[in-house]
């Protein structure tokens, strides 16, 4: 049998649809490694079909007549996973009324598929490493060493190497599991396979619900193929089933298809290589930080406004850089109409970049007799602040709502001798 014939035979036997090169490569590796007892690590996104590869490896191996058990490590509580995998003795913990065999004991001579291996607790990882190295295990609550002959196939949708670097996964176990790696491509990397799989699902649901299968026109097919499918094959199956039940017209146009495709995020992905990482949550963290910053900025604006309202001289400080007036925007909550304060970033400050300003009063009163020099007003308020605080720059700067560094710069700018404030 040629390699191509063998591939097609395996696909037909295990219900795998498609001819994408990455998919064929993964199947070929599974066929080659199946007759051996080597441990295999299957990686790929959730919903990409990793369990099918574990079944290929088992049923093409010399253990095909032995038992095959698939276990989701992420679905077993940390307190009971040791008991589930290795068994326990009677009375070994609360509720252990009888002795129980674990999966490694029950599956002796067969294959265990450990899905979501990245979620396995560190203590259980040490026990698993012992099984892989020597075939030995100990039941919970026992001191008797037992032997088992089990083929271990694992799968994960997280980057185990990153988990090792963060101390959440044992390095020695990682290299022991990763003897033969198999990467299952996500649906979006499989091109026209997407249309083939959709047609298979549509045919299956046609038989299930006793109605003609839905069909996509050419434009709808192109839209389906270009969609990223974050949920992979599970998501495509869900779409095909909903369309089969809800669509009255069996010939589906692109407008109808769009109703079943969730809007994709325009933000760049934070993880690569088709492997989910814990850093994927950085997007949510970024959103939270931005919202918190906005809230903090509004709170800060109100705080300074209230403080300046209590100081008659503070409300007269005017920033000369009025072109930055709208750089941050108004306070969300309603504030008194006069005076309205905003914040400006002073590019010359590195440590403290916020200054407080007041809008110029636009009233129609005749102010012609008053000095219109902004510099003079600013100098006058600095002198008042220094006098009030006995020439202590730190406290004068606080009253003025600026940094001590900014105050020092303005003293130099206006050539203010601090002794002037005593005059």
Q: What does DSSP say about strands 145-147 and 136-138: parallel, antiparallel, or unpaired?
A: antiparallel
User: Do 76 and 98 sit in the same domain of this protein?
Assistant: yes
pLDDT tens across the length of the chain (423 residues):
678 899 999 999 999 999 999 999 999 999 999 999 999 999 999 999 999 999 999 999 999 999 999 999 999 998 899 999 999 999 888 888 899 999 999 999 999 999 999 999 999 999 999 999 999 999 999 999 999 999 999 999 999 999 999 999 999 999 999 999 999 999 999 999 999 999 999 999 999 999 999 999 999 999 999 999 999 999 999 999 999 999 999 999 999 999 999 886 544 444 444 444 444 445 556 656 666 676 677 767 666 666 655 554 444 444 444 444 444 445 444 444 444 444 444 444 444 444 444 444 444 444 444 445 677 888 888 888 888 888 888 888 888 888 888 888 888 888 887 666 665
Model-level pTM greater than 0.85?
no
Instruction: State whether 174 and 215 are in the same domain.
Output: no
Domain stop point among 258, 277, 306? 258
Alpha-carbon distance of 314 to 148, in angstroms, equals 81
Side-chain-facing half-sphere of 388: CA atoms under 13 Å: 17
Find out whether 253 and 219 touch, Cβ atoms under 8 Å.
Answer: yes
Q: Which domain holds residue 394?
A: 290-422
Beta strand extents in 236-285 (DSSP E only): 251-252
Is 276 inside any structural domain? Answer: no
Does one domain contain both 333 and 409? yes
**Phi, psi angle pair for 356, to nearest 5°:** -105, 135
Residue 37 lies in a domain: yes
According to the model, what pLDDT value does residue 266 have?
A: 46
Domain boundary among 185, 207, 239: 185
Q: How far is the C-alpha of 325 from the C-alpha of 332, rounded, in Å? A: 16
| DSSP string over 383-396 | HHHHHHTTT-HHHH
> Among residues 185, 209, 240, which one ends one of the domains?
185
Whole-number Å distance between alpha carbons of 132 and 124: 12
220 plus 123 within the same structural domain? no
| 179 and 197 in a common domain | no
Nearest to 352 by CA among 282, 302, 277, 402: 402
- Kindly state whether residue 266 falls inside one of the protein's structural domains: no
Number of domains the chain is built from:
3
Measured between alpha carbons, how far is 23 from 26 in angstroms, rounded to an integer? 5
- Gap between the Cα atoms of 54 and 107, Å rounded: 15
Looking at residue 351, its pLDDT comes to 45
**100-119 burial, b if ≥16 CB within 10 A, otherwise e?**
bebbbbebeebbbbbbbbbb
Going from the C-alpha of 60 to that of each of 30, 36, 40, 56, 254, the distances in angstroms are 9, 10, 14, 6, 42
If asked whether residues 81 and 96 sit together in one domain, one would say: yes
Same domain, 59 and 151: yes
Q: Does residue 249 sit in the same domain as residue 308?
A: no
């Amino acid at each position: 049998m040629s390699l191509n014939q063998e591939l097609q035979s395996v696909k037909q036997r295990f219900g795998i649809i498609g001819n994408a090169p990455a998919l064929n490569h993964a199947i070929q590796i599974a066929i080659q490694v199946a007759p051996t007892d080597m441990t295999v690590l299957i990686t790929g996104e959730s919903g990409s079909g990793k369990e099918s590869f574990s079944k290929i490896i088992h049923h093409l191996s010399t253990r095909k007549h032995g038992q095959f058990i698939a276990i989701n490590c992420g679905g077993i509580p940390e307190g009971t996973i040791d008991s589930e995998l290795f068994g326990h003795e009677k009375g070994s913990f609360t509720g252990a009324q009888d002795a129980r065999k674990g999966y490694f004991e029950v599956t002796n001579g067969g294959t265990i598929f450990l899905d979501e291996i990245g979620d396995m607790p560190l203590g259980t990882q040490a026990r698993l490493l012992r099984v892989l190295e020597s075939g030995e295990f100990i039941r919970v609550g026992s001191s008797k060493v037992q032997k088992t002959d089990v083929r271990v196939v694992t799968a994960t949708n997280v980057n185990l190497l990153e988990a090792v670097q963060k101390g959440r996964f044992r390095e020695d176990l990682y290299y022991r599991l990763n003897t033969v790696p198999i990467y299952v491509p996500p649906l979006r990397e499989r091109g026209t396979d997407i249309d083939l799989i959709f047609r298979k699902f549509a045919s299956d649901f046609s038989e299930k619900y006793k109605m003609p299968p839905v069909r996509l026109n050419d434009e709808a097919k192109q839209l389906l193929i270009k969609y990223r499918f974050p949920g992979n094959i599970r998501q495509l199956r869900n779409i095909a089933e909903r369309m089969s039940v809800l669509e009255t017209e069996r010939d589906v146009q692109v407008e109808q298809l769009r109703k079943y495709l969730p809007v994709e995020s325009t933000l760049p992905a934070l993880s690569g290589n088709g492997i989910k990482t814990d850093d994927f949550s950085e997007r949510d963290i970024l959103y939270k930080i931005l919202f918190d910053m906005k809230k903090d900025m509004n709170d800060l604006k109100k705080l300074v406004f209230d403080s300046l309202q209590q100081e008659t001289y503070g409300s007269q400080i005017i920033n000369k850089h009025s072109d930055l007036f709208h750089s941050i925007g108004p306070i969300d909550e309603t504030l008194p109409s006069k005076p309205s304060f905003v914040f400006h970033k002073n590019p010359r400050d590195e440590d403290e970049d916020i200054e407080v300003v007041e809008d110029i009063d636009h009233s129609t009163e005749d102010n012609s007799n008053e000095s219109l020099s902004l510099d003079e007003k600013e100098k006058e308020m600095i002198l008042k602040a220094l006098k009030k605080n006995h020439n202590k720059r730190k406290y004068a700067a606080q009253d003025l709502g600026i940094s001590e560094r900014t105050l020092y710069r303005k003293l130099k700018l206006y050539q203010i001798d601090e002794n002037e404030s005593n005059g």
